[in-house]
Amino acid sequence: MSQRIALSWLQLRHEKMKLFAAVAGVMVSVILMWMQLGLMKALFASAVRFHGSLNGELVLVHSQYEHLLHSKPFSSRLLYRLLGSSAVDDVFAISMAPSEWKNPWNGEMRSVQCYGIETDQPCLSISGLPEQLQELRSTDQFLYDRGSRPRFGDVIGAVERKEPVEPEINRRRMILSGLVDLGASFGVDGSILVSHANFLRLFSERKPGMIDVGVVRLRDTSLLPELQKQFQEQLGKEVSVLTVEQFKDRELRYWKSATPIGVIFTAGTVVGFFIGFIVVYQILYTDVTNHLPQYATMKAMGFSNGYLYRLVLEQSLQLAVLGYIPGTFITALLYAGLQKATQLPLELDLTRGVALIAVTVMMCAFSGVLAVRKLASADPAEVF
Amino acid sequence: MTSKTLRIESGESTRRSYGGALPASHGPVISGEGINFSFGQGELQKQILFDVQLEIQPGEIVLLTGPSGSGKTTLLTLIAGLRTLQEGRLNVLGHSLCQAPQQNLLDLRRKIGFIFQAHNLLPYLTALQNVQVMFDLQPHVSPAEGRDRAVAMLKDVGLGDRLNYHVSRLSGGQRQRVAIARALVGGPQLVLADEPTAALDSVSGREVVNILQRLAREQGRPILMVTHDARVLDIADRVLEMQDGRLQTNTVRTERPSAHQSATAASALST
* pLDDT tens profile B136-148: 999 899 999 999 9
Question: Hey, are the CB atoms on A300 and B73 less than 8 Å from each other?
Answer: no
pLDDT at residue A291, rounded to an integer: 87
pLDDT at residue B136, rounded to an integer: 92
Give yes or no for a contact between A25 and A32, defined as CB atoms under 8 angstroms apart.
no
Question: A16 vs chain B: nearest CA distance in angstroms?
Answer: 11
B240 domain-assigned? yes
| Closest-approach residue (CA) in chain A for B195 | A384
pLDDT at residue B21, rounded to an integer: 47
User: Does the beta carbon of A222 lie under 8 angstroms from any beta carbon of chain B?
Assistant: no
User: Does the beta carbon of B110 lie under 8 angstroms from any beta carbon of chain A?
Assistant: yes
pLDDT at residue B251, rounded to an integer: 60
A239-243 and A58-62 beta bridge pairing: antiparallel
Is the pLDDT at B259 greater than 60? The verdict is no
B207 domain-assigned? no
B84 domain-assigned? yes
Question: Hey, are the CB atoms on A4 and B112 less than 8 Å from each other?
Answer: no
Question: Hey, are the CB atoms on B125 and A381 less than 8 Å from each other?
Answer: no
Q: Please tell me which residue, A222 or B253, carries the higher pLDDT value.
A: A222
User: Does the beta carbon of B252 lie under 8 angstroms from any beta carbon of chain A?
Assistant: no
Q: For B149-173, what is the mean pLDDT?
A: 93
Contacts of B110 in chain A (CB under 8 A): 301-302
B20 domain-assigned? no
User: In terms of residue numbers, what domain contains B66?
Assistant: 27-111+226-271
Contacts of A297 in chain B (CB under 8 A): 114, 116, 120
| Closest-approach residue (CA) in chain A for B147 | A2
Question: Hey, are the CB atoms on B137 and A4 less than 8 Å from each other?
Answer: no
User: Does the beta carbon of B117 lie under 8 angstroms from any beta carbon of chain A?
Assistant: yes
B261 domain-assigned? yes
pLDDT at residue A245, rounded to an integer: 94
User: Does the beta carbon of B83 lie under 8 angstroms from any beta carbon of chain A?
Assistant: yes
Q: For B236-246, what is the mean pLDDT?
A: 91
B167 domain-assigned? no
Sheet strands (E) in chain A: 58-62, 74-75, 88-102, 109-117, 141-145, 168-169, 172-173, 175-180, 191-195, 210-211, 213-218, 239-243
Burial class of residue B118 in the structure, from the number of CB atoms within 10 Å of its CB (0-12 exposed, 13-18 middle, 19+ buried): middle
What is the secondary structure of B96-143 as a DSSP string? E-TT--HHHHHHHHHTEEEE-SS----TTSBHHHHHHGGGGG-TTS-H
Burial class of residue A75 in the structure, from the number of CB atoms within 10 Å of its CB (0-12 exposed, 13-18 middle, 19+ buried): middle
**Cα separation of A158 and A178, whole Å?**
11
pLDDT at residue A319, rounded to an integer: 93
Q: For A220-239, what is the mean pLDDT?
A: 92
pTM listed for this prediction: 0.74
Q: Write the residue in A3, A7, A301 that is nearest to B109 by C-beta.
A: A301
B11 domain-assigned? no
Q: How many CB pairs (< 8 A) connect A and B?
A: 67
Burial class of residue A358 in the structure, from the number of CB atoms within 10 Å of its CB (0-12 exposed, 13-18 middle, 19+ buried): exposed
Is the pLDDT at A191 greater than 60? The verdict is yes
Nearest 5°: phi and psi at A16? -60, -40
What's the mean per-residue pLDDT of chain A? Answer: 91
Contacts of B116 in chain A (CB under 8 A): 297, 383-384
pLDDT at residue B154, rounded to an integer: 95
User: Does the beta carbon of B147 lie under 8 angstroms from any beta carbon of chain A?
Assistant: yes
Question: A326 vs chain B: nearest CA distance in angstroms?
Answer: 25
**Cα separation of B24 and A267, whole Å?**
67
Is the pLDDT at A76 greater than 90? The verdict is yes
B216 domain-assigned? no
Q: For A116-136, what is the mean pLDDT?
A: 92
Q: Please tell me which residue, B216 or B263, carries the higher pLDDT value.
A: B216
Number of structural domains found in chain B: 1
**Cα separation of A103 and A151, whole Å?**
8
**Percentage of chain A modeled with pLDDT above 90:** 64
Contacts of A14 in chain B (CB under 8 A): 123-124
Q: What is the CATH number of the domain that holds B230?
A: 3.40.50.300
